[in-house]
């Protein structure tokens, strides 16, 4: 029994150590949480400050210089040195690269834009993958992710599904492409009405049928495109080939001549970016 007080003291010491340890762990957890919160506070966007940087180094900086100049890039770099989280600066740094076919370099920059503002720039990146870089599987993945995150939407005048369908078309997955174009056509017709339909959407929808040798189906869709853009030479040339395939040679030859005249007159795909990239199935006239 003479050892009992000693044992009690030992137990007290162990309890104290346990309490101190638990308290210490709690303090560490709290410290970690506080640190994380501080980092989030530091990362919180100062919109007013960012706008000042954009005005100084983009609007009154890079935009004062030629698009492909070193000065354009250097001015943006000055802005990014002040705040590397400004997504718009990264996008403006990337854009000239794509127009010069420097896709790998440009993609590094646009990835940064997406990192700092996904909602603003992920669909733009997906568009670049489809029309410029021509990395179609990556484009499909990016657009599908955009749909999951942000729903059905548009970029550069066309729906996400348009670019997904076009990517499948370029991967020779014609049946998948047709399904996507068909669904998108029906959705837009129901949701927006006939006047909303775009001649380029219809062109590629027709091409998806043409590639599967559904020439009558392709002609039906091509005619809808020609209702919107009567002198669309690329549609006329492909429709002429469809007519030839079903034995309407005279009609095909007549339409072929009209298509060639319209094509040489510049009545082709009229997207803004066609001056930088030839679009899929676009006929070369020169």
Which residue among 95, 116, 137 closes a domain? 116
The number of distinct structural domains making up the chain is 2
Residue 157 lies in a domain: no
User: Last residue of a domain, which of 84, 116, 148?
Assistant: 116
pLDDT of 76-114, one tens digit each?
999 999 999 999 999 999 999 999 999 999 999 999 999
Question: Containing domain of residue 60, as a range?
Answer: 52-116
Task: Provide the pLDDT for residue 219.
Answer: 98
Confidence of residue 45 (pLDDT cuts 50, 70, 90): low
Q: Does some domain include residue 99?
A: yes
Domain termination site, one of 87, 116, 145: 116
Within a domain: residue 283?
A: yes
In a domain, 19, yes or no: no
Q: Kindly state whether residue 177 falls inside one of the protein's structural domains.
A: no
Task: For the chain, give the percent of residues with pLDDT over 70.
Answer: 84
Q: Is residue 68 part of a domain?
A: yes
Residue 17: per-residue pLDDT: 45
* DSSP annotation string for the chain: -TTHHHHHHHHHHHHHHHHHHHHHHHHHHHHHHHHHHHHHHHHS--HHHHHHHHIIIIITTGGGS-TTSHHHHHHHHHHHHH-TT-HHHHHHHHHHHHHTT-HHHHHHHHHHHHHH-HHHHHHHHHHIIIIII--HHHHHHHHHHHHHHH-S-EETTEEHHHHHHHHHHHTT-HHHHHHHHHHHHHHHHHHT-GGG--HHHHHHHHHHHHTTT-HHHHHHHHHHHHHHSTT-HHHHHHHHHHHHHTT-HHHHHHHHHHHHHHHHTT-S---GGGGTSPPTTPPP--
The CATH number given to whatever domain includes residue 78 is 1.25.40
Confidence bin at 214 (pLDDT 50/70/90): very high
């Amino acid at each position: 029994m003479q050892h009992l007080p000693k044992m009690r003291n030992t137990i007290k010491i162990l309890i104290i150590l346990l309490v101190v340890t638990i308290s210490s762990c709690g303090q560490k957890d709290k410290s970690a949480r506080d640190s994380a919160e501080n980092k989030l506070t530091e990362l919180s966007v100062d919109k007013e400050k960012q706008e000042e940087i954009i005005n100084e180094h983009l609007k009154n900086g890079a935009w004062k210089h030629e698009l492909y100049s070193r000065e354009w890039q250097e001015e943006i770099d000055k802005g990014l040195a002040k705040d590397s989280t400004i997504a718009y600066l990264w996008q403006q740094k990337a854009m000239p690269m794509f127009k010069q076919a420097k896709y790998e370099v440009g993609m590094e920059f646009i990835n940064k834009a997406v990192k700092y503002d996904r909602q603003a720039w992920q669909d733009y990146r997906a568009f670049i993958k489809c029309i410029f870089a021509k990395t179609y599987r990556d484009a499909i993945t990016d657009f599908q992710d955009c749909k999951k995150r942000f729903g059905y939407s548009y970029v550069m005048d066309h729906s996400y599904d348009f670019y997904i369908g076009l990517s499948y078309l370029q991967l020779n997955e014609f049946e998948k492409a047709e399904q996507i174009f068909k669904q998108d056509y029906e959705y837009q017709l129901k949701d927006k009405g006939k006047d909303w339909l775009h001649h380029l959407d219809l062109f590629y929808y027709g091409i998806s049928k043409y590639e599967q040798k559904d020439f009558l189906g392709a002609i039906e869709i091509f005619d809808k495109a020609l209702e919107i853009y009567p002198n669309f030479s690329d549609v006329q040339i492909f429709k002429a080939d469809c007519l030839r395939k079903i034995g309407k040679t005279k009609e095909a030859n007549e339409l072929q001549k009209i298509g060639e005249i319209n094509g040489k007159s510049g009545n082709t795909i009229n997207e803004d970016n066609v001056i930088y990239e030839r679009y899929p199935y676009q006929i070369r006239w020169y």
